[in-house]
Amino acid sequence: MSSSRKPYLIRAMHEWINDNDYTPHIVIDAGVEGVTVPRDHVTDGKIILNIGGRATEALHLGNETISFATRFSGTIHSVRLPCSAVLGIYARETGEGMIFTSDETDDSPPEPGTDGPDDDNTPPDRPSLKVVK
């Protein structure tokens, strides 16, 4: 998946989850450079954030970054993270959503001799939707 497509998919999933009156949550790789979250809420290098309207203020789902203000343990924090740090987005109530695997976010060409696209002009596999529970 191209890096320009991931922010679109995040926004589309966010809209779909909200349209169905569910609560959108995102899974973040807190080790990615540029992630600004309260580190004491990070577990195993990841953090799950509620990005629903009642939990955030000034939510911005941009092409490069996601930013908003939210409360952690009663204290307001500014959250800022690159879209590349998003590992998935899902509805809390149903677990339905989308996971971004590392091969979907890697835009680098395959190394010679690896399992890259064949020269027979077959289209690459399309990203798939996975249920997160």
> What domain range is 69 assigned to?
5-104
Local structure of 97: helix, strand or coil: strand
In a domain, 111, yes or no: no
For 120, what's the count of Cα atoms within 13 Å in the CB-facing half-sphere? Answer: 2
CA–CA dist 22, 25 (Å, integer): 10
In a domain, 110, yes or no: no
In a domain, 53, yes or no: yes
More confident residue, 80 or 1: 80
Residues contacting residue 17 through CB under 8 Å, at least 6 positions apart? 23, 24, 89, 90, 91, 97
Which helix (H) or strand (E) element contains residue 15? helix 5-19
Amino acid identity of 58? A
In a domain, 127, yes or no: no
CA–CA dist 130, 47 (Å, integer): 20
Q: Structure pTM?
A: 0.74
Local structure of 9: helix, strand or coil: helix
In a domain, 24, yes or no: yes
In a domain, 125, yes or no: no
User: Model confidence over 43-70: pLDDT tens digits?
Assistant: 999 999 999 999 999 999 999 999 999 9
In a domain, 54, yes or no: yes
Domain count, the chain: 1
Domain harbouring 15, CATH code: 2.30.30.220
In a domain, 68, yes or no: yes
pLDDT band with cut points at 50, 70 and 90 for residue 129: low
Residue with tokens 């596999």, as numbered in its chain: 125
